[in-house]
Amino acid sequence: MKYTEEHEWLRVEGDLVVVGITEHAAEALGDVVFVELPEPGTTVATGDEVCVIESVKAASDILAPVDGEIVEVNAALADSPGMVNEDPTGKAWFFKMKLANPKALDGFMDEAAYKKLIG
């Protein structure tokens, strides 16, 4: 997996990238009570707001880590937003996207670099 400074993880599955938030981010948010997902087919640019997560503490935006097209969303999160706290790096992925440029993943952190970031 790759990681962003915004505490998102990216996992390559074939020609798609699956995006979610890290355990560190899920813990910082507290109990997640609502997740707003994008529409499949949406084209996004790096830094675009893609999802909104609301917890008992705050609301946070999930930004597009790379340019591409949202091809699938995890609809189960709409009914069970608490999955984000239970399994942030597994069942609680947010969306899958087809990258405009597969080399865009080269600039992200590996697990060791991310662990160093969060100290």
Average pLDDT over the chain reads: 95
pTM of the model: 0.93
DSSP-derived secondary structure for 41-94: T-EE-TT-EEEEEEESS-EEEEEPSSSEEEEEE-THHHH-TTHHHH-TTTTT--
Q: Are 5 and 31 in contact (CB under 8 A)?
A: no
Overall fold of domain 2-101: OB fold (Dihydrolipoamide Acetyltransferase, E2P) (2.40.50)
Check residue 102 and give its pLDDT.
84
Over residues 78-104, the pLDDT tens digits come to: 999 999 999 999 999 999 999 999 888
Q: Where are the domains of the chain?
A: 2-101
Q: Are 6 and 63 in contact (CB under 8 A)?
A: yes
Q: Are 2 and 10 in contact (CB under 8 A)?
A: yes
Over residues 99-113, the pLDDT tens digits come to: 999 888 998 999 999
Task: Give CA–CA dist 40/51, Å, rounded.
Answer: 12
Confidence label for 40 from pLDDT (cuts 50, 70 and 90) = very high
